[in-house]
Amino acid sequence: MGSGESGAYYTSGGSTIIHHEAIIHAFDGNFTHNPRTGKAQRLRSGGHGQSSLDLLQRYGIQHHISKTYPNGVRVGSIEKTNYSRKRETGHAWFPSTWTTRDMVRAAEHVMQLKKNRYVPDGATMWGTWRGVRIGVKRRKGIVVSIFPDTHQLKQWIQGEHHVRYPTVETDYCQARIN
């Protein structure tokens, strides 16, 4: 339980495997501040929620959304960040409709997937929740980061000519059969 950079109060909703700081990290992000003025200078890490985009706008940090997937995930770049990959369309934001509770449920779902049971600490666990492919990192059994994948999966519907994104029940991408 605590408040992030945006001033919003976040809680993990009773989850014992997701620390509230991970939610603040994932939703708002961690910013570096100028020690003299106290003004935010750049996004240091995290920041995958809608409130992060609002904070970038408020602080005047240049960002650009280059692609929006049909499931609502937005991919883009942030000018002032420590990671060069994020300056070149390497940053992803959750759908604007997602709340912190959605992020907590998604992380819990990914951690409970059979394929992720024995993933070592520090490694990324991947899974799909409500059509959004997300990654989860943990340390000492506690989730420290939740983020959407910059490359969302597509799934072919057999016999049809359009693409569908996975649902909660399906976490795989079928090959198209002609």
Query: Quick one: pLDDT at residue 127?
Result: 92
Query: Quick one: pLDDT at residue 54?
Result: 85
- Which residue range forms the structural domain that includes residue 100? 2-148
Distance CA 103, CA 40 (A): 25
- Domain count of the fold of the chain: 1
Query: Quick one: pLDDT at residue 162?
Result: 46
Distances (CA, A) of 28 to 20, 69, 107: 12, 21, 16
The two structure tokens encoding residue 48: 């995958």
Residue 149 and residue 137 in contact, taking contact as beta carbons nearer than 8 Å: no
In order along its 178 residues, the chain shows pLDDT tens digits of 444 555 454 445 556 567 778 887 888 777 777 788 877 777 778 788 888 888 888 888 888 888 888 888 889 888 766 555 545 567 888 998 888 888 888 888 998 899 988 889 889 999 998 889 999 998 888 888 899 988 887 654 444 444 455 544 554 444 444 3
User: Does residue 170 fall inside a structural domain?
Assistant: no
User: Does residue 163 fall inside a structural domain?
Assistant: no
Query: Quick one: pLDDT at residue 113?
Result: 92
Query: Quick one: pLDDT at residue 125?
Result: 92
Query: Quick one: pLDDT at residue 177?
Result: 42
Distance CA 152, CA 72 (A): 10
> pTM to 2 decimals?
0.71
Query: Quick one: pLDDT at residue 24?
Result: 79
Task: Give which of 122, 72, 78 is closest to 94, Cα–Cα.
Answer: 72
